[in-house]
Amino acid sequence: MADAVTMDKIVSLCKRRGFVFPSSEIYGGLGSSYDYGHYGVLLKDNIKQRWMSSMVQERDDIVALDSSIILHPEVWKASGHVGGFSDPLVDCKFCKKRYRADHLEDAQCGQRPSKRPGETSDCDLTEARQFNLMFETSVGAMEETGVPVYLRPETAQGIFINFKNVAGIARRKPPFGIAQVGKSFRNEITPGNFIFRTLEFEQMEMEFFVPPAEADEWYRYWVDERYAWHRRYGIRESHLRIRPHDDDELSHYSSGTSDLEYLFPIGWSELEGIANRGDFDLSAHTAASGTKLEWVEQDGSRYTPHVIEPALGVNRSMLAFLVDAYDEEIVAERERTVLRLHPQLAPVKAAVLPLIGKSDDMSGRARKLYEELRQVISVEYDDGGQIGRRYRRHDEIGTPYALTIDDQTLEDDTITIRERDSLAQERISIARTREHVLDRLAEPWSSPKVDAA
């Protein structure tokens, strides 16, 4: 089913409201790079927090790690990235553009965008060449010897090489996991599609180490768990699906992978991957480093755990949440744009709005409420312009609750709480507002958005 939300609408809202800006814009921009403004940072932080909470805080079998971005270069040889982490590329000698050889069907000719590369008589495509996606740099001490180091293309390897450190002190035996959130870098040449695929991005990866005989069961468990996580934070069922990889799509390390796909404006595309990596990584690093990355039972028997890996991009997850939340409707004969984000993900949880900003009585009480709420949640005080305009600004950044202080507040110490999705308004006592908002934020939430026909 076609979705009415276009990427252009998302890009425009993100720029207008300060979620995402094109990177280096004053220098003409840099393809596939974006900067995150205030609300983008808050939204991304909330996604990371919810992920960490579901992995670490709500369970007792996963611990956290923060490993380096630059690792010993041998890590990437052992992992297979130096030899095999590449895309097949073709160059057009005529228009000087570079294309993924396996994505030519979806690409636009550099001279005639209505055509595909190779379709016009001027197109002059080279043979496909493998192009490694890792960014190379060098570390001072190693420069003379010319040994390259890489910016990590995934956070996962930092987890595998720390297996022994963590297993030794984590007071856990397999099955147990190590979770990590951090930046990764890939020299992606496929431009466009906003923050879906970028040169640098954040990943949330968890490596779950299990006894080999249990690997398949845990793989299926994590596919279900991760599907449920996206649903829990509001992604609509109609826009999320599980797609197991065919055998010929599997990565070199994987004996089974499923993508959780989201129906982005560009069509169904990978949101998160869940892979059964077997013992590939621990065995490869054991062989290359000489350090045994294995589990030793109390009776002295030993084995190399198998690994189940759910891997999700923060930025791609943010894009899915934005697309899923974006809605337009007509209210009182005016168009309203609203981000129906899960309240726990919303950058700002509540807006405190004195009806008449110039009224000292109203603004005094509003300020007091604002100061109280900001101790516990992300909240904004907004006294500029007409109340309708202020509501609409907060609708567009997805603020779930607007708290208005008006004439009646001065009489009976109640305020109006306006709910972003239903537009329902009710009066509650100012003294109970903090408790009321916290209670509502803790409630389960599902998207009221109606699928486009």
Minimum distance from CB of 384 to ligand GAP (Å)? 36
Minimum distance from CB of 39 to ligand GAP (Å)? 19
In the bound state with ligand GAP, the residue whose beta carbon lies nearer, of 203 and 409, is 203
Minimum distance from CB of 302 to ligand GAP (Å)? 26
For residue 212, how many C-alpha atoms fall within 13 Å in the half-sphere facing its CB? 11
327 contacts ligand GAP (rule: CB under 6 A): no
201 contacts ligand GAP (rule: CB under 6 A): yes
Minimum distance from CB of 273 to ligand GAP (Å)? 4
343 contacts ligand GAP (rule: CB under 6 A): no
Task: Pick the piece of the chain touching ligand GAP (CB under 6 A) from 76-84, 172-180, 196-204, 231-239.
Answer: 196-204
Residues from 221 through 280 that contact ligand GAP (CB under 6 A): 270-273
Minimum distance from CB of 299 to ligand GAP (Å)? 33
CA separation for the pair 420, 425 (Å, rounded): 10
Whether 234 contacts 346, CB under 8 Å? no
* Residue number of the CB atom closest to ligand GAP: 313
Between CA 368 and CA 373, with CA 370 as vertex, the angle to 5 degrees is 110
Handedness of CA 225, 201, 19, 98 (dihedral sign): negative
CA separation for the pair 49, 233 (Å, rounded): 12
Q: Which of 197, 230, 306, 349 binds ligand GAP (CB under 6 A)?
A: 197
312 contacts ligand GAP (rule: CB under 6 A): yes
Exposed e or buried b per residue across 205-237, where buried means at least 16 C-beta atoms within 10 angstroms of its C-beta: bbbbbbeeeebeebbebbbeebbebbeebbbbe
Per-residue interface string for the shown chain with ligand GAP, residues 97-136, x marking contact by CB under 6 A: ----------------------------------------
- Position 376, amino acid: V
Total residues contacting ligand GAP by CB under 6 A comes to 19
Minimum distance from CB of 128 to ligand GAP (Å)? 20
188 contacts ligand GAP (rule: CB under 6 A): yes
79 contacts ligand GAP (rule: CB under 6 A): no
- Crossing angle between the packed helical segments 433-442 and 360-373, to the nearest 10 degrees: 50
In the bound state with ligand GAP, the residue whose beta carbon lies nearer, of 134 and 353, is 134
Minimum distance from CB of 209 to ligand GAP (Å)? 15
Q: Which of 65, 134, 159, 311 binds ligand GAP (CB under 6 A)?
A: 311
Nearest to 338 by CA among 428, 240, 449: 449
285 contacts ligand GAP (rule: CB under 6 A): no
In the bound state with ligand GAP, the residue whose beta carbon lies nearer, of 77 and 389, is 77
Residue indicated by tokens 């062989």: 287
Minimum distance from CB of 111 to ligand GAP (Å)? 27
Q: Which of 313, 343, 354, 400 binds ligand GAP (CB under 6 A)?
A: 313
Q: Which of 132, 304, 315, 433 binds ligand GAP (CB under 6 A)?
A: 315
Q: Which of 10, 167, 174, 205 binds ligand GAP (CB under 6 A)?
A: 205
Residues from 1 through 40 that contact ligand GAP (CB under 6 A): none
Task: Pick the piece of the chain touching ligand GAP (CB under 6 A) from 11-19, 78-86, 200-208, 354-362.
Answer: 200-208
Q: Which of 17, 186, 230, 349 binds ligand GAP (CB under 6 A)?
A: 186
203 contacts ligand GAP (rule: CB under 6 A): yes
Residues from 129 through 168 that contact ligand GAP (CB under 6 A): 154, 156
Residues that bind ligand GAP (CB under 6 A): 154, 156, 186, 188, 197-198, 201, 203, 205, 270-273, 309, 311-313, 315-316
